[in-house]
A and B are shown apart, each in its own frame.
Chain A
């Protein structure tokens, strides 16, 4: 059975969210991912399968190993990727505004 999975259903599970955070910064093999969890290896494999079916994870063959990495295109459907970037700059500019207002008042 290979049902088309819904992205939101996929991220409803905390283990699957944790897997996504793991591969956000680097591609990992199923074994390396499973090493981060106490859950049985087949359970982790099942989670990886679900995340792959809904395209949140992408697999890339490298020699004998299969590496999984995050699919940013699909992640865009569930999260505003740009929001943290905007927040970073907004915080920075808020600081600029506060410092310059203070500077003006001191003059």
Chain B
């Protein structure tokens, strides 16, 4: 099945472009990025800070069974309602350098809209590493299942 989300990552470039068309009016799509309670719901994270203005900052923290598993923060460089958000993104407790994100919101019809997210990385290697993380995680999960099967068979 074709995904509604498109990833564009050219070889040897330091960027990823993610585009997605939503069956939502532009205002609702933008609201999902603007309102802390809504961000928390769809991102499945705790929104500790979200200052929607130039030079504002944001911080998200995701916990699993009481333990923080993911935390990220950044600075908002540009905030134009229903048009664009430019911000930095940095994972905490990680050696990953800061990323620069350009989010552009566009209305396609009264009931549909599009988001274009351009992420710029410090190097091609870091870009590739981030792209491959879910792939590697998938492989590891497949391997864990394989281990479980092997353990069961050996009993």
* Chain A residues close to B by CB (< 8 Å): 14, 18, 20-22, 24-25, 38, 72, 79, 81-90, 92-97, 99-101, 103-104
CA distance A30 to B55 in the complex (A): 51
**Does A84 lie within 8 Å of B42, measured CB to CB?**
no
CA gap between A18 and B5 in the complex, in Å: 30
User: In the complex, which residues of chain B have a beta carbon less than 8 angstroms from the beta carbon of A25?
Assistant: 136, 140
Q: Are B128 and A87 in contact (CB under 8 A)?
A: no
**In the docked arrangement, what's the CA distance between A25 and B111, Å?**
43
Instruction: Name the residue on B nearest A104 (C-beta).
Output: B28
For the complex formed, measure the closest distance between the CB of A31 and the CB atoms of chain B, giving whole angstroms.
18
Give A11 Cβ to nearest chain B Cβ, in Å: 12
**Is residue B131 within 8 Å, beta carbon to beta carbon, of the partner chain?**
yes
- Which of A18, A83, A92, A97 contacts B22 (CB under 8 A)? A97
> In the complex, what distance in Å separates the CA atom of A68 from the CA atom of B63?
34
> What's the Cα separation between A94 and B23 when bound, in Å?
10
Chain A residues within 8 Å of B143, by CB: 18, 21-22
Fill in one digit per residue for B116-146: 1 if any A CB lies within 8 Å of its CB, else 0.
0000000000001001111111111011001
Task: Identify the B interface with A (CB < 8 A).
Answer: 3-7, 9, 18, 20, 22-24, 28-29, 31-32, 38, 41-44, 115, 128, 131-140, 142-143, 146, 154
16 contacts between A and B (CB under 8 A): A81-B135, A82-B7, A82-B9, A82-B135, A84-B137, A85-B131, A86-B3, A89-B5, A92-B43, A93-B20, A94-B4, A95-B41, A100-B32, A103-B28, A103-B38, A104-B24
Please give, as numbers and ranges, the residues of chain A lying within 8 Å of B28 by CB-CB distance: 100, 103-104
Q: Is the CB of B22 within 8 A of A93?
A: yes
Partner of B31, one of A14, A20, A86, A100: A100
C-alpha spacing A89/B103, complex, angstroms = 14
Q: Which residue of B lies closest to A96 (CB)?
A: B42
